[in-house]
Amino acid sequence: MTWWSATTLAAAIKSRELSATEALEAHLTAVDQRNGELNVVVTLDAERALAEAKEIDRAVASGQNLGPLAGVPMTVKDSLMRDGVRTTSGAPDLADFVADADAVPVAAMRAAGAVVFGKTNLPLYAGDVQSYNEVFGTSNNPWDLERSVGGSSGGSAGALAAGLSPLEIGSDIAGSIRNPAAMCGVVGHKPSYGICSARGQIPGPPGTLTQADIAVVGPMARTVEDCRLGLDLLAGPDEWHADAWSLNLPPARRESPAGLRVAVMASDPYCPVDPEIEAAINTVANGLEAAGAVVDYEARPERFDFAKADATFWALLGAAMAGGWSVAEIEAMAEAEAQGERPVGDLGVVGASARHRGWLTANERRLQMRKRWRDFFQQWDVLLAPISPTVAIPHDHSPNQTERLIDVAGEQRPYNDQMRYMGLFGMAYLPATAVPIGIHSNGLPMALQVVAPYLEDHTALAAASMVEEITGGTQRPPRYGTA
């Protein structure tokens, strides 16, 4: 049962085919058996979770009408607070911090009946596309222990891929849902910006009320169906707007490939993609076309310039993450850049020293691009694009992300290439669903992202279901046997 979907588990518990206690115990056993070599689940709250599961079993037995996830065990990323459980965000300064309230996304899942039994690993303050930190160490990919699970929701993706959890909550500012989903061969949905409250996530510090620019929280799972349910539970007005606002996301434009208008960006000279991933994306597009979709491999927004869009992304990202540096560090960066030096450091260092006037300029460029994307999606329903130009990378903990390199089909490319296709859509606030599309010749999963118009998350998810139908979706890593 540890390979069942969340919706399958929920139905089995509701019908009393399976108890919530049995489901939880099975997942705790899986963690005990598999997590040692993976190090993806880093904190357990087993005793309290068992008490909650038993209470749900009593409620089911008495005929109570419970939530859609009643009794489903799940883990959450260790940047999201869980009442009474330590939440570290991978930071030594928070190694002993115990939250006194649930983060809003965690509370939403628990209100639906989910039993949160553990926390999953991430990089320091969710600031990398690998998942390692001084508090809990390195998480290893279930497909190859010498490879990264991705990041920053890497422990989340690894737990899903290894059958340790059927459902997760990730967060994404530079691709932190989509990258690890791709690296581990699972599904993740990055919602439209602003529709899911992230209050209770670290960073910023505990108690922060700001929702950072670009940053979102969203569901991760092994099926698109589970991500659709997760989005329905997470989306809605936050506490600032709930008295007057409601959220009614548009239905999917199409529920089948017939008539679906699909644009394809399988690679780009600005950020070359591994030919096998490029070919796999085109194969999916061919499959959709054969099923009745209208497909175009050249369509782009008006005056599309990947390099300029990418520069805007890094400027906005740096501003959104600038709180991670001291004033003195920011001033030193500004002085160095004024002398023509290239910023060197970790995620967000590019653009971190910009003045507010610079941010206003970048934001206007972003709004101009958002308008062009809006016009583009008048003609097209979805865009298929890469997530990363490569599959899961070998562990690389060398300092300064800006100095790291990755191998893309034998060519050494900048480490930050892994975030360019994700940043392109994230900074424009567009929804995007990561979905597996097959296995590379080196045995590692490949994936694409289905991008849809702003607020049309259900169009992205519906198209991702079509992709899932063509490719078979999530596969079990060979080390855990066949399905």
Catalytic residues: 77, 152, 176
Q: What beta strand segments (E) does 191-315 contain?
A: 216-221, 261-264, 294-296
User: 164 by DSSP, 3-state: which?
Assistant: coil
Distance CA 273, CA 267 (A): 5
Pick the closest to residue 107 from 224, 243, 213, 217 (CA basis).
217
Q: Does an H or E element contain 449, and which?
A: strand 445-451
β-sheet bridge partners, residue 170: 218
Q: Does an H or E element contain 439, and which?
A: strand 432-439
∠ CA 93-98-101, rounded to 5° = 130
Distance CA 389, CA 409 (A): 9
* Amino acid, single-letter form, for residue 273: V
* Amino acid, single-letter form, for residue 292: G
Distance CA 398, CA 102 (A): 34
Distance CA 76, CA 61 (A): 28
Residues in CB range of 59: below 8 A, 6 or more apart: 66, 70
Distance CA 359, CA 317 (A): 10
β-sheet bridge partners, residue 144: 141
Distance CA 20, CA 248 (A): 32
- Beta strand pairing call for 187-190 and 261-264: unpaired
Contact 158, 364 (CB under 8 A): no
> Six-digit token pair at 8?
């399958």
DSSP 11-46: HHHHTTSS-HHHHHHHHHHHHHHHHHHH--EEEE-H
- Neighbouring CB atoms inside 10 A of 219's CB total 31
Judged on CB neighbours under 10 Å (0-12, 13-18, 19+), 34 is buried
* Amino acid, single-letter form, for residue 230: G
